[in-house]
Structure 1
């Protein structure tokens, strides 16, 4: 039996570069030796609270030093981390605690009210991070090293935002997470120990956790945390701390490009990675022009640890694509209409994106049927539609369930969004299908107007006609001050559909 623990990512740094700066948050600056010492003390406290290897411990905290500290403490104690999205209601947190079978909730004071309500309802013990957990750690016997775990033992259970039905727990092993951090750091991008990365993505989410936290530390680099994302503040912090690596979602790239004009100075960025949702090419171009840095767009899911494909220097980068699969991972296109088996398609054909490799999860916690549906012939079926060209570049066209069928024709919202993002009056846009008596579904664009502009619906529709096929352009245009975002900063299209389905254009 091969043993492996995510805790080794931190333990090895403490051994190889003990005095190197690991973590910066505000005025707090910690070396790898210090973070590991604290994690072992907290792991001792968890053991004292009765946490045994394999027990699930829920963790609810923003991007403060408390998160990585507790995350590695749970791993060191042999526990399984259940990260909790910060935007969930008490009822939704209750579902996560119940479904995961968590025995303990570690909760940041800022989330204590929601956490406590959910803990009360489920009978799960809650410990507040900061003073309460700190006092327990101070009084505990620190672990000398991390608890032995099998490579295939669960390390983290991510609750997928559940675009359909109730959120499911995706179980990721120590092997999944250590491999994903390793190939991200050393094969996908050239991450160096003297790099400084900004941790602005939520660490409770797979993208922030693997790419910002684990991959940065796997390379022995420094992580600077930004608890609340604000573009001007992010630029200021990146300049101050000498940050050269930025990981973000498209909404962050939009905001940074806009804020760059008023910033007294800009950071010298070497590595920029975008993921979480499709990055419109217009946004990529705006950001690259403002910061003089190349953006590497990638793709992944909670079920794939998450990184599956990314634009990598070794293959060259291509805007509008998600690049090539990671080292040791295959990403192919399969027939989306065939259930129960995976039938791969030749280059250029549109189909469902399927993934296999060391990054594919063990399954959904307590849901064998859902697992069997998702894992077929050794491949994970993503539910996303895409293509792969002759050079191996992958493109995501859309979610299978977001495709609009108008008058029998398939309309891919992402294609319409890419075009609309080039309209001068559009800052952000989400394209959805709404029920229509005549065509089955009608194309609707929900637009956040660019500052200082006042576009009108008819004008946008008219402009679209010149850039899109007859069945594709939006017949309906709605305006919004902001788009509803999920915990992972993805636009919640189901909320927009619910909001606009019931009433006529206005």
Structure 2
């Protein structure tokens, strides 16, 4: 067992005192630990954890690691067919989750571990090493793919995050993001383990009212939310209890939204963060509360120990961000994967950035955001942002149809409606002809939360 894994195992009794969730049930950790040992699985066997945010989730994750096995957190909403696809693609040896039906997986029995059920996928040899963990990637990286990290690098990245945001033992952190996300698992959960702070585990789903109530009741000093949740807070015009540190993933947050949220009386320190699962995940941070207005469209500077480079044929033009970090993944696994680590040790992010003379990074888009329409290079993210400048448009998303045309989906602001003809005229005044969407469709707000 690595020193990092032993650190987490030795701290479990302390975590049980500092961490709380919405459940009234507390399972003895040793019973979970022993149950995994009794499975007699081969070291390096991967186990999908299929349950919602809870302290028991973390108990299972640590117990799996402590037994030389490999945890794979996944969304509890995954269908059995998708899980079977993951099992085949990632060579998964077992599955643990709530109310699992063995018949859906070709099994006839299960083992109870805590409040969850475990079933084994037989004849699946171990494909990984002890002290490794898998984090599933988003659909943009491939549906059945994952990043393989060491426990040591995850703990290291969490420590880098704590230092960048000034999180310490006197804080109380609220976790509302899904723990199968790399940010929630590494920066928040593991970060809380090693910082000594209290951790309140909640959600999803997220509501502004619940976030406000928990922040008040639990005296929350630190939390992290997504750009979508920021827009919900701004849209609701709510006044939340004061939070010392609020962090937001910054690559999809407009500078006007950053400026709006940082001036709210309930935000003391606002940090805009950038990261990706392959990197561990945290890469860069902007202290937005003290930044000049000109920097609010950036993600700030790399964390200490991370080197960045822009892969661009011409100076001062956007290019793919390359990073060299001590917390990079070991490798990517799954269907048709391309390894992002280059021979020179730099990680290819797939994200387009600029970098100024001070080293400040500005997100331009993802390489997938650029498509060719009639021979012209088009930034679909830019089209969406232009549409969102229309007074009736709350959210917009531009995609490429199967026949190679641009399609714009829009969602209206509260108590307004969007006239397609009016929006088309608005776009025609601001976009070039080849950038104009061939179709405009209306979508519900929930479609933009997916």
What corresponds to 2:139 in structure 1?
A: 162
Q: What is the CA–CA distance in structure 2 between the aligned matches of 1:461 and 1:185, rounded to whole Å? A: 46
Quickly say closer, same or farther: Cα 1:333–1:157, change in 2 above 3 A.
Answer: same
1:338-386 Cα deviation digits (max 9, x unpaired): xxxxxxx67622111222211211112377x845465342112122222
How is 1:126-205 mapped onto 2 (pairs within 5 angstroms)?
126-127=110-111, 130-131=114-115, 154-163=131-140, 165-186=142-163, 188-205=164-181
1:297-330 Cα deviation digits (max 9, x unpaired): 2222221111122224799573222222122112
1:288 aligns with 2:262: yes
What corresponds to 2:196 in structure 1?
A: 220
What corresponds to 1:455 in structure 2?
A: 418
C-alpha contact 2:98 2:115 (8 A) present in aligned 1: no
TM-score (ref. length: structure 2): 0.86
What corresponds to 2:354 in structure 1?
A: 387
1:168-207 Cα deviation digits (max 9, x unpaired): 1211012220111111112x21001121111111001211
What corresponds to 1:350 in structure 2?
A: 318
C-alpha contact 1:185 1:218 (8 A) present in aligned 2: no
Range with greater deviation from structure 2 (44-53 or 54-63): 44-53
Quickly say closer, same or farther: Cα 1:108–1:275, change in 2 above 3 A.
Answer: farther
Give how far 1:283 is off: 3.0
Q: What is the CA–CA distance in structure 2 between the aligned matches of 1:273 and 1:422, rounded to whole Å? A: 25
Taking only aligned residues, the RMSD between alpha carbons, in angstroms, comes to: 3.2
SS in 2 for 1:279: coil
2:44 is aligned, of 31, 42, 54, to 54
SS in 2 for 1:163: helix
Quickly say closer, same or farther: Cα 1:88–1:258, change in 2 above 3 A.
Answer: same
1:305 is aligned, of 235, 259, 280, to 280
C-alpha contact 2:44 2:68 (8 A) present in aligned 1: yes
C-alpha contact 1:296 1:312 (8 A) present in aligned 2: yes
2:427 is aligned, of 464, 482, 494, to 464
Q: What is the CA–CA distance in structure 1 between the aligned matches of 2:285 and 2:141, rounded to whole Å? A: 26
SS in 2 for 1:331: strand
1:375 aligns with 2:338: no
Q: What is the CA–CA distance in structure 1 between the aligned matches of 2:103 and 2:221, rounded to whole Å? A: 40
Quickly say closer, same or farther: Cα 1:132–1:203, change in 2 above 3 A.
Answer: closer
How is 1:348-427 mapped onto 2 (pairs within 5 angstroms)?
348-365=316-333, 370-372=337-339, 374-427=341-394
C-alpha contact 2:270 2:287 (8 A) present in aligned 1: no
Quickly say closer, same or farther: Cα 1:117–1:353, change in 2 above 3 A.
Answer: farther
Structure 1 unaligned spans of 5+: 135-151, 336-344, 492-506
C-alpha contact 2:394 2:413 (8 A) present in aligned 1: yes
Give how far 1:107 is off: 0.3
Q: Aligned residue pairs: how many?
A: 436
Quickly say closer, same or farther: Cα 1:385–1:13, change in 2 above 3 A.
Answer: same
Q: What is the CA–CA distance in structure 2 between the aligned matches of 1:4 and 1:306, rounded to whole Å? A: 20
TM-score (ref. length: structure 1): 0.77
Range with greater deviation from structure 2 (265-274 or 174-183): 265-274
Q: What is the CA–CA distance in structure 2 between the aligned matches of 1:321 and 1:449, rounded to whole Å? A: 27
1:23 aligns with 2:13: no
Quickly say closer, same or farther: Cα 1:164–1:205, change in 2 above 3 A.
Answer: closer
1:446 is aligned, of 390, 400, 409, to 409
Q: What is the CA–CA distance in structure 2 between the aligned matches of 1:197 and 1:253, rounded to whole Å? A: 17
SS in 1 for 2:18: strand
Give how far 1:260 is off: 4.2
What corresponds to 1:339 in structure 2?
A: none
Quickly say closer, same or farther: Cα 1:99–1:179, change in 2 above 3 A.
Answer: same
Q: What is the CA–CA distance in structure 1 between the aligned matches of 2:346 and 2:241, rounded to whole Å? A: 40
1:96 is aligned, of 74, 81, 86, to 86
Q: What is the CA–CA distance in structure 2 between the aligned matches of 1:273 and 1:94, rounded to whole Å? A: 35
